[in-house]
Structure 1
Amino acid sequence: MEKISSFFSNLWSLIYTKHEQGIFNTICLGILLGLPVLVLLALLFICCHCCWSRSGKNSGQSERKKKKKKKKKGEEDLWISAQPKLLQLEKRPSLPV
């Protein structure tokens, strides 16, 4: 327990001495000490987002399959090929050399 309290007291004394040296050191220390907190919050957000999206994913797949089946019966699949694009390039006038 003494080692932990000495660590935090040494950390606090370092922060205090850097603050006394100037505002630039204070800002740099704030950023350096804030980055691990920001990373932990980002990881927590990503993990929670993944967990919440998995539960809704199973019900969404069955609805998607039903929609795909309806589209196949009622609509045709229209495919746009790259050939019209090539024809448009040929119709453009060439630049004078």
Structure 2
Amino acid sequence: MERISAFFSSMWDTILAKHQEGIYNTICLGVLLGLPVLVIITLIFICCHCCCSRPGKSGQQPEQNKKKKKKKKDEEDLWISAQPKLLQMEKRPSLPV
């Protein structure tokens, strides 16, 4: 326990010594000590996001969704007509002028 206490005591003494040397050293120490904390917070956020955003696994629901998607893909017409504006104009009812 004394080793841990001595380590943090020496770290604190180093921080105070660098702070007294100038503001540049204080900023550098803040960045260097803040980076590991930022990395840990980012990793926790990513892990929680991945775990919470997973879809629930149930036996029947995914199979039904897959079948619906396959039917939808088969029915979709992916061809683009050569004259889309003309086809749209034909479908509109004419207005009296």
Identity of matched residues, %: 69
Aligned to 1:86: none
Structure 1's unaligned 5+ residue stretches are 81-97
Structure that is richer in helix per residue? 1
Structure 2's unaligned 5+ residue stretches are 81-97
With the length of structure 1 as denominator, give the TM-score of the two structures.
Answer: 0.66
What displacement does 1:77 show? 3.4
The whole-number CA distance in structure 1 between the counterparts of 2:56 and 2:6 is: 49
Matches within 5 A, 1:39-58: 39-54=39-54, 56=55, 58=57
What displacement does 1:33 show? 0.2
With the length of structure 2 as denominator, give the TM-score of the two structures.
Answer: 0.66
Note the aligned Cα RMSD (angstroms). Answer: 2.3
Bigger Cα Rg: 2
Q: Which runs of 4+ in 1 moved over 3 A?
A: none
Aligned to 2:23: 23
Task: Go from structure 1 to structure 2 and tell me whether the alpha carbon gap of 1:36 and 1:23 turns closer, same or farther (over 3 Å shift).
Answer: same
Matches within 5 A, 1:1-97: 1-54=1-54, 56=55, 58=57, 62=62, 64-72=65-73, 75-79=75-79
